[in-house]
A and B are shown apart, each in its own frame.
Chain A
Amino acid sequence: MSVLSVHDLTKTFDSGGRALTVLDGVTFEVAPGATLAIVGPSGSGKTTLLGLCAGLDQPTRGRVILAGQDLGPLGEDARAALRARHVGFVFQSFRLIPTLTAVENAAVPLELRGEAGARRAAADLLDRVGLGDRLDHYPSQLSGGEQQRVAIARAFIGRPDVLFADEPTGNLDDDTSHRVEDLLFDLNREAGTALVVVTHDAELAARCARVVRLRGGRMVTAEDPAPDAQAGRTAAPAAPIPS
């Protein structure tokens, strides 16, 4: 049983009257708690694939099954509701809401679900990521690394089944990148959340159990790059990826 299943996913855009296929027949699955990196050069379709997997966009062809739900027939609001229950996000540029404090930002997913105790849970999680003393700071008062840790807290607070990370270390220096990566994988292990990471960073990709490599919209390889990653850094076994 996989938490994310992608089958023959194709996306075509109209570009000045010509059809431009940015994603072409991509198929893979992700098991609960597994880690998967999507890599490839710029323009290879990584972000498009991530958007389709999270239900942010609709494919031209193919199916996405997220947390047991086929996204195809779902409308905008139903997909939003599904994301609220099962999906977490971490973005390259953090995407914190500038008008909310750190703790308020982290609490948003629980508040969206109408759950009680959102603030306490957010404060605990921020404490866990080392920001216990920065709860009431606004994003503009935090460094890039701190902002990304708030974003990670926000992503994990709802205990999602899948966490999508779009270049999570793309805007950070090396040291901070490593700390953020460690945090991602630690929380992934603790929460049993599947991690789908889009990245240029070979080192980050190497820490994932599986890697999907894209070129020109096609999946060129699906490999199992790092025995040590499987052994040491991911708790759950990666799902088999059909070739």
Chain B
Amino acid sequence: MSFVPSLAWRDSRKARRRLFLYVAAMALGVAALVAVRSFGANLQTALDEQARAVFGADHQVWNWGRFTESNEALVDSVAAAYGAEVAREVTASSMALFPESGGTRLVQLRALRGGFPFYGEIRTTPDSAAGVYQARGEALAGASRLRQYDAAGGDSIRIGTRTYRIAGRLDGITGQTDVEALVGPRVYLPLDDLDPQLLGFGARYTTGAYFRLPDAVEPDSVLAEIRPRLAAMDLRGTTVTGLEGDWSDALGDLTRFLELVGFVALLLGGLGVASAISVYVRQKAETVATLRCLGATAGQTLRIYTLQAAAMGLLGAAAGAALGVLVQQALPRVLGPFLPVEVETPFVWEPVLVGVGVGVTVALLFALLPLLRVRRIPPLRAIRADARAAGVDVWPWLLGGVLLVGIGLFARAQTGVEAAVWGFPLGVLVAFGVLAATAKAVQRLVRLLLPRRAPYPARQGLANLYRPGNQTLVLLLTLGLGTFLLTTLGLVERTLLAPIALPAEEGARPDLVLFDIQADQREDVRALVREQGLAVLDEAPIVPMRLTAINGRSTEAIRRDTTAPQPTWALTRQYRSTYRDRTVETEEVVAGTFVGGVAPGADVVPVSVEFDLANDLAVGLGDRLTWEVSGRTIESEVASLRRVDWARVQPNFFVVFPEGPLDGAPQSGILITRAGSPERSAALQRAAVEQFPNVSAVDVGLVLGLVEGILDRVAFVLQFMALFSVGTGLVVLAGAVRIARLQRIEEGVLLRTIGASRAQVRRILVAEYLFLGVLAALTGIGLAAAAGWTLALFVFQAPFVVAWDWILAALVVVPALTIGVGLAGSRGLLARPPLDVLRAEVG
């Protein structure tokens, strides 16, 4: 073996244990990367294999509302032209009543005719139920729903005016995620037995046709062929490959984001590496100087230690990759609720190699920052301890630049966002800069304001923050960054949840919404609510309409104009508008004047448009909007713009008409009340379903529970990933303590030699780590508050909510962990007699 590798190997023998923490710091970040990447690869495989079974068909056309005759003709012509098998579907939300238990619930209805799913299966208990429910006119009902009301196969379910026997329990529907199932339990019915009342005026439902194409026919080519006709009829077309692509993109975004979180852990690990190697180089300075005296060149000495760092980095990355492969087994369980497919977790090489490659590169780059100093240790130092290299070394700056560019490129590759190439490194720099500046400021402040009368251990502990060899900077960076990441997650979660949470003290808040009330049912429903002893808090008529022209130019023409700024959804959607004579508390007029009433027969109706919609439609005050309301054309002018708080539980609308012009238009209604308790809510729902089968009810408390449930799961995934950062932070902390230990030994030993007790030395340590932990927590919280506020304002556009419990938790947990790890790392020192320590560590 030549000199460099052989000396690198021999020299590392006694240092390996010391560099173990360096290895561990790398390992967690690499583990996160490998786990998420492996999972992503396996998820893609699962999508490739299961897409058809998940979709259940090759091709689908669908639309809101019922199919027109020309829609039906198109379906027939596709079936005939390609020899396709057809199945029909109607989906809707509807109230279901379980007569045996008396329970009611809004369910996701799927009414089917034909052999759908053509691929995959509907799993039921008993197995045979899926095959027979259509022929027998029976229902299949979602498992969770049945458990809640103790209904079982053989019980019945009433939907609309019809009652169905439950043929079996729906155990799992391929392609439906658990999160989707939270929104509402699924109920499958035979389409031919569906109550036509459910599809009455104003009801929200979709009609669709699924096709099974012969093997030789490409679904995408069919879609391409019929696309012009679909567009002309406002029909939507989906193919199995298109759907797979959409999922692939969405899940790709998810895994890329998670990888980015892993990468942050890796960067933290890099910081640990840099600090470990920095101290290592300091300890090796004499050896390097001696080697240089004996004739080793600067390059040779640098290579010796770079080789050691690379080998350690490789070891850390390999250990991390092994851990990552294990963690990957857990990811389907963590992410399962969000996935439409079942993911197997076999071993995949590519993510392991990428993880190890990225890990070693990050380790090496971060290690090189301090390692470059090796070149500048002059041989003269062997005979003169104060010898220093002269001049400025530009290489660390160049390397720092390379690191930042590398971080930016990786972030862009992960997020696919162009701005990440500078935004991510800038964010890292700002966070590091604030933490480093805090560290410096704290050191200066402590030096200036050190309380002379404080007890000796506290004074010593505080002074350790600025003394030579202090760990203030490294600990503030690593702990502060970890605190920052986790607290930001907490604050953002709270900010997102706050607007929809139901404040307990506001007694009059609505908690039950009845909708799809037909015009002729309005009085009766109102009476029913009052009969139950409840108050009608709000009512609104809903008039479905389509936008046909903006300032005289047809929406068709605007859609064809590729330079037009308006998004298609805003031009083609069905608007469910209302009319009233006033604004409500969840909205605020920001421009123009709200007009509450005009005489029937006015040529131009003054309307109020929601602010963001006006932006999307590129209209302002005075612009003309033409509407088609049940075949009638209504000309309107934008008279005011409103900002709407969509998060509040109120009926909110994009477009509000004045009273008068729409009074006679076909409409349905919505009614809001407050039941106050689950029992009264259930009683009203039951009575409403029995009397008005077409009317649906939404229990707001239940919805909020669902939203919270979904956000909790999102938060769990994020926290799971953040754990890697926290783990790395703790490893780096342990490393920093280990490093500080060497520097505190002489002092501690000296103190004990001249009579200090172990308890006194321990108190000094506790004081130092307590100060560091509190400082790191405070700085991290400050950064998190700034980041949370920025995200709330610019990304989520919601008022920033201060999550005091998260902040307090950070303030308690971070210092406690710092003290715990700090004392654990110093335990051996305190237990041994001073002379032993002096011999072992210094001698």
Contact surface of A with B, Cβ cutoff 8 Å: 47-48, 50-51, 54, 56-57, 76-77, 80-85, 87, 89, 91-92, 95-100, 104, 108-109, 111-114, 138, 140, 154, 166
Contact = CB atoms under 8 A, between A and B. Distances in A.
Given A80-B292, A112-B296, A47 B286 contact: no
Contacts of B297: 76-77, 80-81
Among A48, A51, A82, max chain B CB count under 10 A is at A51
Closest 10 CB pairs of A and B: A84-B295, A83-B295, A56-B380, A77-B297, A95-B290, A56-B379, A99-B14, A80-B297, A99-B11, A111-B3
Contacts of A87: 295
B248 interface: no
B15 interface: yes
Interface string B461-485: 0000000000000000000000000
Contacts of B584: none
Contacts of A80: 292, 295-298, 379
Contacts of B316: none
B702 to A, nearest CB: 67
Contacts of B13: 99
A112 B3 contact: yes
A99 B16 CA distance: 11
Contacts of B11: 97, 99-100
A234 to B, nearest CB: 24
A47 B295 CA distance: 19
Contacts of B384: 47-48, 51
Contact of B382 (A77, A81, A91, A104): A91
A98 B286 CA distance: 10
Contacts of B843: 140
A58 to B, nearest CB: 10
Interface in B1-43: 2-3, 6-7, 10-15
User: What is the interface of chain B mostly: helix, strand, loop, or mixed?
Assistant: helix
B414 interface: no
A56 B379 CA distance: 6
Nearest to B2: A114
15 contacts: A56-B380, A56-B382, A77-B297, A84-B295, A91-B382, A95-B293, A99-B11, A104-B10, A109-B294, A111-B6, A112-B291, A112-B294, A138-B14, A140-B843, A166-B383
Nearest to B11: A99
Interface string B362-401: 0000000000000000111011100100000000000000
B287 interface: yes
A91 B7 CA distance: 21
Interface in B442-475: none
A87 B291 CA distance: 12
B214 interface: no
B678 interface: no
Among B13, B289, B291, B379, max chain A CB count under 10 A is at B379
Contacts of A56: 292-293, 378-380, 382-383
Given A95-B293, A112-B300, A138-B14, 16 more contacts: A48-B384, A50-B383, A51-B383, A56-B378, A80-B296, A81-B297, A82-B295, A91-B382, A97-B290, A98-B14, A98-B287, A99-B15, A104-B10, A109-B295, A111-B3, A154-B294
Contacts of A111: 3, 6-7
A82 to B, nearest CB: 8
Contacts of A96: 290
A99 B379 contact: no
A177 B12 CA distance: 32
Contacts of A50: 383
B281 to A, nearest CB: 14
Contacts of B289: 95
Nearest to A54: B293
A151 B291 CA distance: 12
A177 to B, nearest CB: 19
Nearest to B296: A112
Nearest to B14: A99
Given A99-B12, A140-B843, A108 B291 contact: yes
A95 B379 CA distance: 12
B705 interface: no
Contacts of A83: 293-295, 379
Contacts of A104: 10
A47 to B, nearest CB: 5
A108 B8 CA distance: 12
B10 A84 contact: no
Nearest to A109: B294
Contacts of A84: 294-296
A82 B378 CA distance: 16
A26 to B, nearest CB: 17
A108 B10 CA distance: 11
Contacts of A82: 295
Nearest to B287: A97
Contacts of A51: 380, 383-384
B126 interface: no
Nearest to B283: A98
A48 B387 CA distance: 11
A57 B294 contact: no
Interface in B276-325: 286-287, 289-300
A54 B295 CA distance: 10
A91 B383 CA distance: 7
A222 B384 CA distance: 25
Contacts of A76: 297-298
Nearest to B288: A97
Nearest to B293: A89
Contacts of B15: 99
Contacts of B2: 114
A80 to B, nearest CB: 5
Contacts of A89: 290, 293-294, 382
Contacts of B14: 98-99, 138
B7 A108 contact: yes
Nearest to B16: A99
A48 B378 CA distance: 13
Nearest to B1: A111
Contacts of A113: 295
Given A47-B383, A99-B12, A166-B383, A57 B295 contact: no
A214 to B, nearest CB: 15
Contacts of A154: 294
Given A51-B383, A97-B11, A104-B10, A114 B3 contact: yes
B405 to A, nearest CB: 30
A112 B304 CA distance: 12
B616 to A, nearest CB: 67
Among A99, A104, A138, max chain B CB count under 10 A is at A99
Contacts of B295: 80-85, 87, 109, 112-113
Nearest to A82: B295
Contacts of B287: 97-99
Contacts of A140: 843
Nearest to B384: A47
Interface string B772-797: 00000000000000000000000000
Contacts of B286: 95
Contacts of A91: 290, 382-383
B176 to A, nearest CB: 61
Among B11, B15, B292, B294, max chain A CB count under 10 A is at B294
A100 B11 CA distance: 6
Contacts of B299: 77
B8 to A, nearest CB: 11
Nearest to B290: A95
Contacts of A98: 14, 287
A27 to B, nearest CB: 21
